[in-house]
Amino acid sequence: MGLAAAAAILAPAAAHAQIRQVSSSEHRQAIGFTLGGFFPKGEDSRVDGDVLFRDLDDLAFEIGDFTGGAVSGEWLFALGDFVEAGVGAGFYQRTVPSVYRAFTHDNGSEIEQRLKLRIVPVTATVRFLPIGRGSVEPYIGAGIGAFNWRYSETGEFVDGSDDSIFRATYKANGTAVGPVILAGIRAPIADVWDIGGEVQWQRASGDTNRSESGLLGEKIDLGGWHALLTMHIRF
């Protein structure tokens, strides 16, 4: 009778100890999401022939107007105590209003357009954890991204030959490939959850096929920074 009672008392404690043991550095995979912002490269560092840079000659907007929200999901898996790999996919989209700098309608109203950029990145990265797996985990990493993009300009435009005003939509899309560099830190908030912060840098540019799209620039610069809040569930 005494042995049975002791077993009944010790069994839950042993099970709890096993759960706690697995809940820290023994997790080998994680699925998570990120939420934050995308900050495009500034006017002075954009690729030659960039369509946004060329548009600044005629249209009143700023490159910084394309700063906007970004979300993504990712799957991470351990390659050892100090290295992990990951794959992820994200979404960013921003619409910026603009008007002509030097032209208006005859009645004085603005000649308006809407500039819209969408980027859907798919990335593969490798991360190094300098102090290994534990309670707090700083990391750095690098990888490659495939950036599916679409850019459009819709609204009213001025014909350079006779200054007449017309409505049109100009658009281009494609997929560009480029490097990704990242750094971050994360910490557990429960047995299987962690939360952290991360910065990412990406570099890529797409071809707008100017002769067919009608856009002023032959390139679109997709480079910039992400500042992200991260959350994962580990297993």
In a domain, 167, yes or no: yes
CATH number of 62's domain: 2.40.160.20
Residue 18: inside a domain: no
Domain assignment present for 11: no
Alpha carbon distance 41, 136 (integer Å): 31
Is 61 domain-assigned? yes
116 C-beta neighbours (distance < 10 Å), count? 16
Q: What is the pLDDT of residues 20-48, one digit of tens each?
A: 434 445 678 999 999 999 999 999 999 99
Domain membership of residue 67 as a residue range: 26-234
Q: What are 106-111's contacts with CB under 8 Å, separation 24+? A: 111/155, 111/156, 111/157, 111/158, 111/165
The pLDDT value given to residue 25: 57
Number of domains in the chain: 1
Does the pTM exceed 0.85?
A: yes
| Per-residue pLDDT reduced to its tens digit, 55-88 | 999 999 999 999 999 999 999 999 999 999 999 9
